Amino acid sequence: MDKYNKFRQDFPVFTYKNYTIEETADTIKIGYYFSVDGLAEFAPSWIFPKPADFTVDNDLTLERLAFSLGMAEAVSYWKATCSPVMRVECGELSTEQIQWWKKLYYLGLGEFFYINGITADVESFVDIQSHGKFRCTSAAERAPLTGCLVPIGGGKDSALTLETLTQAGMKCRCYAINSRKSISETVRAAGLEENALITAKRNFDRSLVELNKQGYLNGHTPFSSVVAFSAEITAYLNGLKYIVLSNEDSANESTVAGQDVNHQYSKSFEFEQDFHSYEEKHLGTGIYYFSFLRPLSEFQIAKMFVSHKKYPPVFRSCNLGSKVSPDIWCGDCPKCLFVALILSPFLSPVELSDIFGKDMLNDVNMENYFIELIGKSEHKPFECVGSIDEVNLAVSLAIEKILKNGGDMPYLFRTYIDMGMYQPELTEEKNREYCGKYSEINLLPDDFAAILKKEMERLL
């Protein structure tokens, strides 16, 4: 907290100076210029593939999209000093928009504030000041929008979305930020052509890492908002009507018990609604942003996912492993353990070990993460993991399967039983409840809802 206050005093102004849009025959490059006045300057950039028939000439909508992606990027650099003023010298923000961005920053930085021991107030933690104007004055005429853009991260959720929609006959293209093997192999497993995948290149300014090494503030930011705005640009360039996310109902659960601190805030339904509203009011592309899996839990998704046998060998959900080429399961983090647990009722021990390259459930080093995932800690792991209830259901079902079929009980499951957590009398009831779950709190268009319900009926 002392460091937070000192940095705010020493560096009172963060500036979003400018953005540039450069067009070539087959790309659009967007450059951003930020600064912590008196400390550092940052110049991250993006490169988007451009269809041959697209031109950026005098396009106010593209200007708004490019500017907004910059606002989503800016918070990653702002957080180094948490300057009390963010001066925006390009683009335009109304009072309503400023409040929208403050809400996203504040709730999206909940984990950052918590980990760094910062007590921040939603009204006063940053004063966003708009001093710019857009260069264009009118939106370009574009052809009617059709088809879906499915962001792919290489994990089970987006694989399930892509498989379900393509099997239902939906016209889908895929979107990725930077290339990874698991992403391209997921697209290939879905039976799509190579050109179905649109990959944007994000160039992060590494000078921020050097500041972190010097002791400036670091922590989690709402990255899924970056995914949202960059996907909007990609959908706009390619004339696609729907951005189909794969965020589930479980993402709404707070990471810290009793507090409004959610590692997955920008994957929550609250953000989904807010983004949907922002798009309609302030971007006006006509693109419809929603999460296809929002009615479901992680437990249901895991059960549905494993029925598609072509994906378990290629999917990856490990954030640490994604930094290795080719991307891997690190086998040492809470995300790897969560995935192992949520899949454990539906796969054999050998199948699980084949995925992770080790026996996750017999690893004594995983015990602390296990305690967090089953809700016997102050907070869940600060990772994109499912709810405490569904983790407990998955563990109970896996234990029940071992007791019924025979075999050695893994170390973590023995620990669970010894803690008195295993309650077989409740397992069947919970299983029925989760398997039939369909949350009506969602933004699915009717035709997408019908596809999802049909798939649920077939598999569950």
Q: Identify the top-confidence range among 227-231, 318-322, 349-353.
A: 227-231
Rounded CA-CA distance 19/88 in Å is 11
Peptide bond into 410 cis (omega under 30): no
Rounded CA-CA distance 345/458 in Å is 19
Chain segment 327-368, per-residue pLDDT in tens: 899 999 999 999 999 999 999 999 999 999 999 999 999 999
Under the banding of pLDDT at 50, 70 and 90, the label for residue 422 is: very high
Rounded CA-CA distance 5/371 in Å is 34
Q: How far is residue 230 CA from its own chain's centroid?
A: 12
Q: Which of 256, 272, 255 is nearest to 264 (CA)?
A: 255
% of residues, the chain, pLDDT over 90 = 83
Chain segment 8-23, per-residue pLDDT in tens: 999 999 999 999 999 9
Q: How far is residue 459 CA from its own chain's centroid?
A: 26
Taking 80 as the threshold, does the pLDDT of residue 258 lie above it? no
% of residues, the chain, pLDDT over 70 = 99
Residue 275 amino acid letter? F
Under the banding of pLDDT at 50, 70 and 90, the label for residue 42 is: very high
Retrieve residue 32's tokens: 């951003």
Say if pTM beats, i.e. exceeds, 0.85: yes
- Give me the residue label for tokens 């192992």: 340
Retrieve residue 62's tokens: 């593209």
Rounded CA-CA distance 386/252 in Å is 9
Chain segment 79-112, per-residue pLDDT in tens: 999 999 999 999 999 999 999 999 999 999 999 9
Contact 139, 61 (CB under 8 A): yes
Whole-number Cα distances in Å, 281 to 106, 286, 355: 21, 10, 44
More confident residue, 322 or 342: 342
Under the banding of pLDDT at 50, 70 and 90, the label for residue 77 is: very high
**What is the SS3 assignment for 155?**
coil
Least confident of 25-34, 116-125, 230-239: 116-125
Contact 10, 80 (CB under 8 A): no
Least confident of 158-162, 228-232, 422-426: 422-426
Under the banding of pLDDT at 50, 70 and 90, the label for residue 326 is: confident
Q: How many CB atoms lie within 10 A of CB 123?
A: 10
- pLDDT the model gives residue 127: 98
Tell me 140's DSSP state. Answer: P
Rounded CA-CA distance 141/224 in Å is 29
Chain segment 52-61, per-residue pLDDT in tens: 889 888 899 9
Contact 381, 335 (CB under 8 A): yes
Q: How far apart are the first and last CA of the chain?
A: 49
Retrieve residue 198's tokens: 């649109």
Chain segment 174-210, per-residue pLDDT in tens: 999 999 999 999 999 999 998 999 999 999 999 999 9
Tell me 113's DSSP state. Answer: H
- pLDDT the model gives residue 460: 60
Q: Which of 263, 5, 240 is nearest to 117 (CA)?
A: 5
- pLDDT the model gives residue 435: 85
* DSSP bridge partners of 45: 31, 203
Taking 80 as the threshold, does the pLDDT of residue 1 lie above it? no
